[in-house]
Structure 1
Amino acid sequence: MAKPSRKTTRKTSAIYKGKRQRMARGRTTIGSVKPMHVAGVMLTASVLLIIYLWRPSPQRRADDLPPPVVTTVANTWRAGPGDIVAFADTMAQRSVHVLSGLGVPEENIAVRRLPEHRSSTMRWELSSDIPADIPLAVSNLWLTRLTNRLGGSVIEGTENLKGTQLSLRVGLDSKHTNLITLRRSQYVKRKNGRIALIIDDCGYQSRGLLQGFCDLPVPITVSIFPGERETRWMAERAIHSGHEVIVHLPMEPIDYPKRDPGQGAIFSHYDYDRIRSVTREAIAAVPGARGVNNHMGSRVTVDRRVIGYVLDEIKSQDLFFIDSVTSPHSVAYNVSLEMGIPSGRNAKFVDLTDDPVRIQEDMRSLSMNARQHGTAIGIAHAKATTLDAIKDAIVALKSEGFEFVTVSQAIR
């Protein structure tokens, strides 16, 4: 995160220099040595060092070489050298999304195209009054992350002495392209936040229970198992009811075979072609699916190679991916971002117990996450106790001003 200066008149570069380490050198007394002897020893040492550094590398067999890496940062769009216009325009658009996600009303965000000038690369100016309860440090953090992800950097950052205004100059290749100015205001009310609720494990339950989730009065995202008795029926019914459908893709857990992910699962020992094929068949089995999230998968989602193969197929079909976060060590969300796939991650499972009171408490916890971060994704499961509990929680949260959205809207 760029660290803005607290002075009003000076601007601090976002480049940081580390401290140099110094080593104390001891002195050793030696007998008198002729200069020619010293020169000879130094020459010999130099020759040996050159031979060591330039020795040929041992030949490696093809079997010893690592497999090709599919999930690399090169797969994501990042501004290259000279992509000034593309970087500036993308930064201007996505900065609005970042601020909106933090709870800034979009009507308060003004974006202005600056006149072209031969001696300046500055292209866009964004200014906004933001709610006083959003720390400038939080806005700084998220905008800096966006800048870095797009391949640019925060070149200058300033904050006034009162801590009420932040200015960032961002750019590419040390050239300024975007000016962002944020002012905290007590007159701007923060949006309470957006909640995206995923209903997992759909497909094998009774139609009556599944219809109950379709009848919820807010948009939800229904995650459906491929190949179950009611897979197709639930997909069609959910879409007809105005909800969103994604594929609940089974993946190998860390404790397999103690826990079995079920039919059509992705296993870590599968090769590239098989993983792509299994993923492709799962997506085809769920009509109208717009994305994918993982069922179990605590072994697969910690392996960049395996989850990368899955994400290659997801990307080829222009779908989004949600990391269910079934392992605290999951890299699936980060890898999907690196590949340029629209992505999100689960913030909380809201029904790890069947206790209705606890489920409503977990929904409240999810809403606090949404209030803090602007948007939060939560996961519930297609169970009768869950349906009853979240009905009451939805009514309460809507009355407080929280907005329920689909996952695709949440990760926009």
Structure 2
Amino acid sequence: MENNKKNSAIFIDPGEHLKQPPKRSPSLRRAARLSVGLITLGFALTSCGTLGGGEANDDDADATANDPLTIGVITPMTGVASLEGNALRDGFELGIKHLNADGGVFGQDVELIFIDDQGDAAISTQSAQRLIQQDEVDYLFGTIAGDTSEAVAGVAAEQQVPFSTAMIGSIPHCSPHFWPFGATELMVTEGLVPYMIEEYGENAALVGNDYLFPRQYHDASRSLIEEAGGNVSVEEYSPLGTSDWQPVINRLADADPDWILTAVVGGDAISFSQQSDQFGLLDDAGISGVSLQQEFYPGTAEIIEGSVTAQPYSDQLPGEDNEAFVEEFREAYDFTDPIPVVAATSYHAAHYIGAAVEAAGSTDPEAISEQMPQVDIGGLMGSSSFDQDNHTFSTQMYLFEIGPDGDYNPIEDFDIVTDPMDRDCS
């Protein structure tokens, strides 16, 4: 995909991080906010410009409350998770561009700073520290893999900066200013698993990459399979970046499953799907799971045609909001493939965060977090909202069948889905 940006944001090389940044209180961070425009502008002049860059209104009585909202975005633009990372970047950037065209926040353009964390938790940590301490961002957004999300969440919580993710899946972290927009593992499997058992049979195989999200995804799916009267005959994990999936595929085949639920992600999702087809694993077995997400479709098209997956979004959903988003996204990025869920979620998150900050009346983290469960903007993802206590994001969920031209066609509407996860983040 070619990324044709008419208005670029600030993109920071992952090597340009603060070393052991001093811890500063939120009040000091806000007090220093007036100089941030000079810092980011100086970088923009020597680097590649900003998205937005509207001038502050000198007539406003409260200068601090009316400084431009600045959001730091940490995402893997290179590396094994770059398919998801670039989709997140594009969706969020387009959402902020759309928000700015409608007046921004506090009547000013929202400013973005992007850092490529390469899917490395150590770089994610350094990136969060740099964005908070040096660039004085008001909000953090992004990350893909669970370990990178945990890394950023820890820094954000310590520094009392709001942070949101957009990928499907949850992490153990829970704090007053953490607001994840992605559907949880339970939300994307509770409608899918009964369908797969009814359609293919009771004998399921689970496979995924060996890190937090795939294991949590399969913890949820295993419970649902057993509750529905099915059984898990085999469960296999392999590290991110695996190129040879044949040993795993052989062990899956030996279990003779009726269907396979896959939590293989990134570029691995493509190689696993292609090799599963090559070695005959899918000849007599169904397949579903996150490996069927839209960002992987160009490499898996004919293999997954006719399969189903459960997600909160497809570019084939009806409605004016989706039609407008699809047209904007395709034009902005010269994009012809199925639009990924994480791109749509990030686009929606940009508008949601903007509405929450506007309602808060300032960039104070307490004020923003007070508004996050109250916001209901409708729009692309429908009437979605955060739970006051566990901070999960309830959203519309659908079952999609994948057509021959990459159309993810809705065949069942699960309505608004919630996760009753027992935790108190407030």
Same fold flag (TM > 0.5): no
Task: Answer 1 or 2: which has greater strand percent.
Answer: 1
Q: Into which bin does the TM-score normalised by the smaller protein fall?
A: under 0.3
Q: Which has more radius of gyration?
A: 1
More helix by share: 2
Q: TM-score, normalised by structure 1?
A: 0.24
Q: How does the TM-score come out when normalised to structure 2?
A: 0.23
